[in-house]
Amino acid sequence: MKKKLSLQKRLAWTMSALTSAAIIIFAIALSMAAEEREEDLIDEVVNTALDGIIAQPTSQHFLLPKHLQLFHAPLGQVPAQLPPELLQFPIGNAEWYQGGLEFHVGVREKNGERWYVLYNTETHERRLDNLRLWLLITALGVITLAWIVGRYLANSLLSQLARLTHSVQNNTPVEQYAAMDEEVAILAQRIAQARDAQVALLARERQFTAHLSHEIRTPLTRIRTSAELLLDSSPAPQHGRIAKIVHSVDEIEGKLRGLLLLARGVAQKQSTPLYLAAALNAAEQRLPDTKRELDWRNQVASDVIIETDPELLALLLDNLLSNAWRYTEQGSVTATYTDGELTLSDTGCGIAADALPHIFEPFRRASDIAEGHGLGLAIVAAICDRMGWRYHVESEVGQGSHISIRFVADV
């Protein structure tokens, strides 16, 4: 998508464009007016010359400027050296072109004579060309000046808004309202109030989630501890049921971590080089004992290292593998890594095309075939967004799914 120009530049360009349009229109109008004035002046010179010549005796020798030529002869005869094209010209004034030069022609008849005066307009054309060149240079200079002045005025008019924008982008305090124009001051005040309200809301949410986490985890810890103690003292036939209790507690804690992650936002605690293949195998081992017996194929090279937060990577892989196992009745789950991209492929039920755009949204499930809360891929998306990793999914109903994570910070 093409980047939009800033408000300052758009204002400067608008002022420059309006000024340029006015200057161009004025220059064209001035050039046309000058040309029309020159035409009238030439016709006046031709008429004056003809009137003066005709008023004198025919036998008199006429001295004319070099840009004027006179031809005359009795009616019915052709004046000597008169260009043949002029014989067809009627009485009056006309224009004639020869060899790229423009001539104004005056034709009169009086006292049995036909008179022709040719005016060479080369000098006038040169003067008009010089005028047009001067207008062009002046117009370019004024347009450049208009752009400079436009930028200056735009910066002056919008400087307060620019500082306010910088403050919002960098989350810095807004300057004093008294130094601002009224409109900008109102906007700055509203932004500051909204920012304060947001900070207070986030503080309340963090406090609530912290209390909620503590209040829920405390009884869960008691349940888990009691179940583990019961496991040591109970008969062997009861061990399976007690193990399910322990696993259920672990699953609830995992869901709680995911909910807190979505509520608080992802925060990277530490960055550590981690072997991706080992992390995948560890995530597969953390799957519940009741998981389906699928063919787990970890094809990631053992020397691939990802430098990231261990807990975030573990949470990411736990949710990816849990999602793959949940929606795969039989077959395999395969992990591959190529050019910085991890792909997890399964042979499960697949995802319908209309559901694909929504599977990374919280509480959205791609299928009702398996149980779930619709948080797994939402947690994956939240982690990827925070870490700057790219993710996408390809799937067809009945053909399985391929979820890919491209690690930007891989080494």
Q: Is the pLDDT of residue 266 over 60?
A: no
Q: Is the pLDDT of residue 254 over 80?
A: no
pLDDT digits (tens, 9 = 90+) for 62-75: 677 788 888 888 88
pLDDT at residue 411, rounded to an integer: 42
Q: Is the pLDDT of residue 91 over 80?
A: yes
Which stretch of 60-74, 225-239, 248-262 has the lowest confidence by average pLDDT? 248-262
- What is the average pLDDT across 269-281? 87
Which stretch of 204-208, 297-301, 375-379, 400-404 has the lowest confidence by average pLDDT? 204-208
- What is the average pLDDT across 126-153? 86
- Full 3-state SS string of the chain: CCCCCCHHHHHHHHHHHHHHHHHHHHHHHHHHHHHHHHHHHHHHHHHHHHHHHHCCCCCCCCCCCCCEEEEEEECCCCCCCCCHHHHHCCCEEEEEEECCEEEEEEEEEECCEEEEEEEECHHHHHHHHHHHHHHHHHHHHHHHHHHHHHHHHHHHHHHHHHHHHHHHHHCCCCCCHHHCCHHHHHHHHHHHHHHHHHHHHHHHHHHHHHHHHHHHHHHHHHHHHHHHHHHHHCCHHHHHHHHHHHHHHHHHHHHHHHHHHHHHCCCCCCCEEEEHHHHHHHHHHCCCCCCCCCEEEECCCCCCEEEECHHHHHHHHHHHHHHHHHCCCCCEEEEEEECCEEEEEECCCCCCCCCHHHCCCCCCCCCCCCCCCCCHHHHHHHHHHHHCCEEEEEEECCCEEEEEEECCCEC
pLDDT at residue 410, rounded to an integer: 44
